[in-house]
Structure 1
Amino acid sequence: MKIAVVVDSTSYLPDALKEKYDIRTIPLSVVIGDESYKEDEEITPDEFYDRIRNMEELPRTSQPSIGDYILLLETLRREGYTDVVSVHLSSKISGTYQNAIAAGQSVQGIEVHAVDSEVACYVQGFLALYAAQHKDGMELEPLLLELEEMKRKKNTNAYFIVDTLTNLQKGGRLTNAQAMIGSLLKVKPILEFQEAQIVPYEKIRTKKKAMKKVEDVFETEMERHKGKPVTAVVIHSNAEAEAKEWLAALREKHPGVTFRLSYFGPVIGTHLGEGALGLGYTTYEVDTEV
């Protein structure tokens, strides 16, 4: 048995880290006007945010086609892989997980074990990293069971702060009136994943207060996880300076936690908008050093 690990592009793991552990990527796309771009391959986050800033309509997002996934599986089969652990963003917000299953049923000689992370971004990437770092030392079935346990909210969690309501309004998740009122009140929604869906955690006035609320929740959860090898990540939508400042403050408060910096790429950024921040973590030991 030879196991490959695949993750979709919305994990936004650093290329060097994916190369270190031979994690393959299947890209999602954004459609701007009549043009489709594979994120991080055909359009960078900077280019994306520059282009959409003044657009009236949001870009559309597109999951990988079954055909693209089949091509990847055939490549892996030719390289001698017999099994694929394929980790994807939540099935409640994308059909990527379902397409991975469908593609696996179409290719003979290689078995796909799709994992619905029930989350997204670098926090989803924690699962792929764990799989890649343990696939040679564990049997496949115990590894898959570990991933199912790892993704439970008590072990891996995330919170997201939306800085502007514009994208939620453009995407039809808020009415114009709601967006206008929310903007006037400087409302900054905090979102989380529950049962694989993005749901409101709390609505806070001002971003500073929203960040403080997430910090307080994180501190409470860290108290519960004392003694565990926690790895956390600060994520941003084209707000690197602000994210780095937050990261430094969190590191000072939690010296026992390993922190990393990541970003919301075009697909997730389409929905969260520019200036969003996220904080996620896992209590499972993963190597994130590049």
Structure 2
Amino acid sequence: MSALDIESRLVTLDNFPFPGLNTTRRIRVLLPRSYQQSDAHYPVIYFHDGQNAFFDKDAKYGTSWRIQDELERIYQADPTREWIVVAIDNSPTHDFNGRFNEYSPWKMDSDFKLPGRDAGIYELGGLGELYAEFVANDVRLYIDSEFRSLTARENRIVMGSSMGGLISAFIAMRYNAVFGSAGVFSPAFWFNKSKFLTWLSGVQLNLPLRLYMDVGTNETSDESRDDFNQIYVDDAKQVAEVMTQMDNVCVRFEVCEDAIHNERDWQKRVPSFIQHCS
């Protein structure tokens, strides 16, 4: 499948209003292969860190998920299975570390030591509630009005990795009436695990949620900490255990041997995620 073919199905919204923060955001909408040849309606995947979704040339660190390749393989096996993918760029502020602001409802845990990172990270976080509202209301309502989406909550998935995994779990539970599934890849619960767990203890879901969560055994977000890979694994296990005990949550949790904190490794896990969440 050529890049040209993908780009012919890609709709780019360059200045989509984000009223909660009085700013705008680029959103890329990838339409299904059959979209222009039918009048069918499609389920929707909402994807954080959207510039990393499709092309290496757009990706912040030069490597993308190429999620279209995985969806194409699924389509080739079963042409009835297609999705609209709504890829929402992360915040360009703070040299793109603004994603820490928007992908956590809480400030960075001041007790969690990151000796290899700029101390400014401790000032970030806390805008996740506004971002969640933006995705669940502003973006979702626009997509449902402008594209042929299936509007039942069972046909909406929210997904992301690292901080995007954290906010995906939050959005899916905070807006339980909007989203039926979530893909939580290599979640960065270390950003403020205690606040996340405290919030989670008060969550009661009235509707069923399918949640896919994974973590690699060789992940890090600070090379100066030799224990970061174990932190990723232990945190994900702890949160998955809590979620498994919750009413109305069906969790699939995977520990991926030798997997690193990288879009190519996350791409490999898309089939497992899709199998569980759709």
Structure-1-length-normalised TM-score: 0.28
More RCO (CA 8 Å, sep 6+) = 1
- Between Structure 1 and Structure 2, which shows a larger proportion of strand residues? 1
Structure-2-length-normalised TM-score: 0.29
